[in-house]
Copies of this chain bind each other. A is one copy, B any other.
Amino acid sequence: MDKLLTIQQVAAATSLSVHTLRYYEKMNLITSIQRDENGYRCYSLEDITWIEFLNRLKATGMTIKKMIELAELRRQGDSTLTARRKFLEEHYKEVQQHMIELQNNLNLLANKIVTYKEMENNYLNNRPNK
């Protein structure tokens, strides 16, 4: 029931490279990965779940530094649950804010595109060899 995976399999499953997996471990983003008798890493399904969670945080723009903070809290056990929730809520707000700004800039970009279309028409209508 405690199926274990090679680093290669985990790389495929998480779309991180094996290099990155080892890098994350060195950075203490991922900790206490089991080893087999040859010192090879053996990842559990729980490890995968954690890595997938990290990927999602990364996709929302969280820095590795921040993720390390969170991983540190997680290592300390259930007594840090509230701290971790607050941490995520804080990040949530930041991402929300970022999305608002993104939407605003996207709207301005849409306007710019309209302006370009007008300029294009002017240009085409005033060409010498029209």
Which A residues are within 8 Å of any B CB, using their own CB? 53, 56-57, 59-60, 78-79, 81-82, 84-85, 88-89, 91-92, 95-96, 98-99, 101-103, 105-106, 108-110, 112-113, 116-117, 119-120, 123
Interface of A is mostly: helix
* Copies of this chain assembled into the complex: 2
Residues of B close to A109: CB separation below 8 A: 56-57, 60, 88, 91-92, 95
- The verdict on A117 contacting B85 (CB below 8 Å), with A95-B102, A95-B109 known, is yes
A81's partner among B59, B102, B105, B119 (CB-CB below 8 A) is B119
- The verdict on A99 contacting B96 (CB below 8 Å), with A56-B109, A113-B89 known, is no
Q: How far is the CA of A82 from the CA of B124 in the complex (A)?
A: 10
Q: Which residue of B lies closest to A109 (CB)?
A: B92
